Structure 1
Amino acid sequence: MRAAWLALSLFLTGCAVQTAALRAHPPADLPPVVELRATPFFPQTDHQCGPAALATALGAAGIAVGPVALADEVFVPARAGSLQAEMLAGARRHGAVATRIPGELEALLRELAAGHPVVVLQNLGLSFVPLWHYAVVVGHDLPRGEVLLRSGRTERERLPLSTFEHTWGRSGFWAFVALPPGDWPATAHAESAIEAAVGFERSAPPAVAAGVYASALQRWPRVLSLQVGRGNSLRAAGEPAQAAEVFRAAAEQHRSAAAWINLSDTLLALGRRDDAVQAARAALALHDRWQPQAQQALDEALNRSR
């Protein structure tokens, strides 16, 4: 892979818009030089950049798992590599919350300033002859116009920021941060947090998933999807009374039929039939696309013995 990279480097030196803007007007609150030296390093074997990069990110998050163990989970032999979905799912299976970050150099540098190594997907070839590669960005030097990566067999690869922008851009600027439950990337948006929390919930114990939703709601309060997700996780964790409180708050704040329906079902499980009927009727009264489910919830509540 290194030889191919050197052969193609001359094609990657054109205009790098984000690099030029950052170097011309660096944000005052962004440190000019960052290096996360404690980030572990796992040399890549053939076609195993995905497991190596994921092991690096998980190790930085305090989760010790090596590339060999991860290879069976994220490596796709038919593709001779790892797909993005497998990378995210692999991080979540091992207890990390994997969250996509904005595809912007400034966002990446802000994550580094926050102490978060960033897994990136690069195309070290050309758009019509791709050479896909995962690496972990662990530092930057804005005055010198460089980034530092754990990449391939190189523990501390220096790469011109403009070249990195080109190779990263060919993946659509795909990147994520893996953090322990309760922590979130500095630059994450609510939409990416929802996707991360839902993905984490699929493989996490319900009580841990509920905690992830709660931490997200501290940063992005009153987001309906996060509220409903927390309610569902609490219910799965055997906390229906707390779940009912969450569903009611979401239903009232957002006039959400889905939240009213979940509330009705939870109240029914708590033996509160009359309250469940009231919640289902509140969902029906909204006359939205949830009408069939709301009617079903009402029928179930009315048919339940007092």
Structure 2
Amino acid sequence: MQALLRLFRGARLPTLWAAVLALSGCASLIPQTVDLRTQWPDGVPRAVELSQVPFFPQDEFQCGPAALATVLTHAGKGIRPEALVDEVWLPARRGSLQLEMLATPRRHGRVSYRLEPRYADLLREVAAGHPVVVLQDIGPLLTQWHYAVVNGFDYETGTILLRSGLQQRQQMSFTAFERTWIPGGYWAMVVVPPDRIPATATEQRWLDALLGLARGGDAEATVRGYTAALQRWPDSLPAAVGLANQLHARGSLDEAARVLRTALQRHPQSVIVLNNLAQTLSDQGRHGEALALIRRADDTQSPFAGEVRATRQLIEERMRARGG
């Protein structure tokens, strides 16, 4: 196996891939690297290096804050690792858990998005300009968890480039990197501004990430994230409802109503859109329009029947209070 790793680092690809396939016992330990031989991701260049990604040498055992400062600064939120220690560093564990790694960027108005456990997705994100935080086991004998940031790769030499520890430009072979990446289940994440959706994001996973951002308390960032979602997936009902809810919560009732009217054109039978639009119109004092909408929703069997009844009751009470 050590001979294979040395060969991988220096060989040209035709020879390299042949050597990998010939040593089937070792190849079985690096399945995704082997797959790249015939399934290099479409549209991904053969070599990328994000040289503008900042570098923060880590203090002892504090690779989590250093990795987060790297990607947060790259995402436009300049911050030093020492400012993140109390948020992410767990002294009892002498490290940072993945939950803290995902949660911390959200408190700084950025979206943390966990990647699918695929080498191809990591490469796509780096090619799209997004450095990727990865969890590795770098212990030579015993487990030693470590966070690093992938900021480049080179297909021809089979090399992954990382900001890692005290090394500003660590080079690892594809095989060696995958071996360190496997024990953590290929865990990886990117940190992006809320209006920049990751290259590999799916609608549902992006919306899940925005729920985490909303819990972080940055309402304006959450609005930007939902707006970006609707631009990417204009027929997304959850994105429209989520955006309207955020707009309503900050008092932007006209904007919320516009979003919901557009959603109603695309989803005319949606009970939740009818309900929320009726609520918004009533909050604007347009109770007659609101009542007509909520009656449409009331005619439909749905899991939201209780909410619809409550909204209708509220509208009718407001109309009686106004004497009309």
TM over 0.5, yes or no?
yes
Q: 1:103 to 1:77 in 2, by over 3 A?
A: same
Deviation track 1:80-116 (CA, whole Å, cap 9, x = no partner) reads: 2222222222112222222222221111111111111
Instruction: List gaps (5 residues or longer) in structure 1.
Output: 1-10
More divergent stretch after superposition (142-151 vs 202-211): 202-211
Q: Which of the two has higher C-alpha Rg?
A: 2
Question: Is the CA contact 1:110–1:187 (under 8 Å) kept in the aligned structure 2?
Answer: yes
1:120 match: 134
| Inter-partner Cα distance in structure 2 for 1:12 and 1:36 | 31
Question: Is the CA contact 1:283–1:294 (under 8 Å) kept in the aligned structure 2?
Answer: yes
Pick aligned residue for 1:239 from 236, 252, 260: 252
Instruction: List gaps (5 residues or longer) in structure 2.
Output: 1-24
2:116 match: 102
Kindly provide the amino acid, as one letter, of the partner of residue 238 in structure 1. G
Q: 1:169 to 1:281 in 2, by over 3 A?
A: farther
1:256 match: 270
| Inter-partner Cα distance in structure 1 for 2:139 and 2:308 | 53
Question: Is the CA contact 1:23–1:145 (under 8 Å) kept in the aligned structure 2?
Answer: no
Q: 1:151 to 1:244 in 2, by over 3 A?
A: same
Pick aligned residue for 1:217 from 202, 207, 230: 230
Q: 1:122 to 1:285 in 2, by over 3 A?
A: farther
Question: Is the CA contact 1:100–1:177 (under 8 Å) kept in the aligned structure 2?
Answer: yes
Question: Is the CA contact 1:120–1:174 (under 8 Å) kept in the aligned structure 2?
Answer: yes
Indicate the RMSD between aligned Cα atoms, in angstroms. 2.3
Kindly provide the amino acid, as one letter, of the partner of residue 47 in structure 1. F
Alignment of 1:122-201 (within 5 A): 122-125=136-139, 130-201=143-214
| Inter-partner Cα distance in structure 1 for 2:178 and 2:113 | 20
| Inter-partner Cα distance in structure 1 for 2:57 and 2:270 | 50
Pick aligned residue for 2:66 from 27, 52, 63: 52
Q: 1:82 to 1:281 in 2, by over 3 A?
A: farther
Aligned partner of residue 268 in structure 1, secondary structure: helix
Question: Is the CA contact 1:207–1:234 (under 8 Å) kept in the aligned structure 2?
Answer: no
Q: How many residues align?
A: 295
| Inter-partner Cα distance in structure 1 for 2:139 and 2:264 | 50
1:296 match: 310
Kindly provide the amino acid, as one letter, of the partner of residue 237 in structure 2. L
Question: Is the CA contact 2:27–2:34 (under 8 Å) kept in the aligned structure 1?
Answer: no
Once the two structures are TM-superposed, the CA of residue 252 in structure 1 deviates from its matched residue by: 4.8
Identical counterparts, % of pairs: 44
Kindly provide the amino acid, as one letter, of the partner of residue 45 in structure 1. D
1:66 match: 80
Q: 1:278 to 1:125 in 2, by over 3 A?
A: farther
Q: 1:251 to 1:123 in 2, by over 3 A?
A: farther
| Divergent runs of 4+, >6 A | none
| Inter-partner Cα distance in structure 1 for 2:98 and 2:293 | 40
TM-score, normalised with respect to structure 2: 0.83
Kindly provide the amino acid, as one letter, of the partner of residue 226 in structure 2. Y
Q: 1:299 to 1:133 in 2, by over 3 A?
A: same
| Inter-partner Cα distance in structure 2 for 1:20 and 1:12 | 10
TM-score, normalised with respect to structure 1: 0.88
Deviation track 1:229-275 (CA, whole Å, cap 9, x = no partner) reads: 11012112321011022223334533332222222221221011122
Alignment of 1:266-277 (within 5 A): 266-277=280-291
